[in-house]
Structure 1
Amino acid sequence: MLSFAMHFASGNSLVSGLVMLFVAYALIVLTSKRSRWRMRTLRLLVFLGAAFVVLSTTPLPRAVWAALGISLLPLLAALVMQSNGRPGPRSARAGALMFTAVAAGVLWSEYVAASTRLPAETATLPIIVLGDSLSAAETDPKLTAWPELIAAHGWRVTNNAGIGATAATALRQVASVDTSDAIVLILIGGNDLLGPTTPGKFEEALEELVSTASTKGTQVVLFELPLPPFRFEWGAIQRRIAKRHEGCRLVSRRIMAAVLGGDGNTVDGIHLSQKGHDEMARLVMETVLPPR
């Protein structure tokens, strides 16, 4: 059940939904026989496809959402017309081409274009971790937190993460260290998202946190939050802040969702088990930190 929920929280349901809508368009364009099973299949594909795309809570620009919606209008028109025994509109083929182009662009930007791995020349820099209980060393004395596991591989790591931290309280974490000429990993926001913090207050605190960390020679890496359905603004905030700060890398929420959704990786669905810390350390070293 958790892994299924993480399919949406990670944003991967975007792919599932777009594939279902593409198959629906293919059925409209390439087949003409109006049988009962075909119409039921079409309705199911369109409904589930649209639901999966929306529930992915991908913080796309409004213009992209608009283009995606417009590209689906011929599909919806064809579905209604064929349900009433009439042939679909001729615009269905053009709609299919437009949808394919928009979907391909979305998938490219979400899965291909963003490069989060740090360059090789940063391999000698120390690492500073700012975050909450997902990273804190004192969460459970019987566990070895993932920052300490990274340190065991030869990295110089300062783990300033604290239990219950929010974006606002993490300002004390960054104030206590010198972030110049360092890699700063920021994994914060879960307690804001699940607590009383408003999106506006979160953006204000996260902006100050990233600004404070972004000193001379600093490589700031901001980890996206896995998002519950319809919490678009939280993802958009992280993307806006990363875009405003040159050199700030944004790690896809798929990384954290893969860890949280893995079998046996958490003790309660949120806090990491030792297996979860092991997996987090592996993914950070393989996808974020530079090769050594």
Structure 2
Amino acid sequence: MRLLLAYRPPYDWAAMLVFLSARAIAGMETVVDGVYSRSIGLDGVHGTFSIKPVGDAALELTLDFPDPAGVPEIVARLRRMFDLDADLPAIHRHLTADPLMARLIAERPGLRVPGAWDGLELAIRAVLGQQITVRAAIKLAGKLVAQYGEALDSAPPGLTHVFPGAAVLAVSDLATLGMPKSRGRTLSGVAQALLDDPLLFEPAREGGVARLLALHGIGDWTAQYIALRQLRERDAFPSGDVGLINALAALEGGPVTARELLRRAEVWRPYRGYAAQQLWTSLSRVD
């Protein structure tokens, strides 16, 4: 099945692809020749999709999923995942009142905030990434998918498994993958929390950050990160993020603390998440 997912230009597909490529989990995601592909699971049914830009106002989705009833939910998830409904003109009108943001947006006017296919998956990724590099976290995630994910019967090259479900992760000793036992307990606890509250990661539900912070092992950075990329809270802002702190320090020529970054970000409300994306992306283009 092929579908076109329309958006309002501009769209910085190159930046989106760099983000996804750096975090692609072996066996579950591939980025080849400008095309992002991955396995998916929805209500116990498995499939795959590939997505790429076509023209200047749409992404082309190629979907292999055996249950046609799931297509509307898949499309809705992908529109969130690729931030296709963002009103960038309104966001930019607000952010460009700050000269720093005006300069960054002029350089990369089509930046979107990458989302996630699935809330549990993103939460697991975020916890795995606590206090280690992105590369190390993705390696752990690959081991988790290979050991606990269900194998696909047939799929495009490079896609062999789907991400494991909450029922599997909740009862597994994930520390055996090579992480502190406390982190393994956090991962299993997050999975159990989703079983207890199936709407835990539902976008647009009030009080999302507070519910996340109530979970064992979930601090402010992790909660804000999940809120930004899964709950789609435009003002979510992980102020303690080292990348954000380093980006602002490099751009403004001086040391920055997490508290100073948080104060600086007040002028970006209610779109601090989009400001954060500009800062993260700037790390690859600062002189």
Which band: TM-score by shorter chain? under 0.3
Relative to the length of structure 1, the TM-score reads 0.24
CA radius of gyration, larger in: 1
The structure with more strand, counted as a fraction of residues: 2
Relative to the length of structure 2, the TM-score reads 0.25
The structure with more helix, counted as a fraction of residues: 1
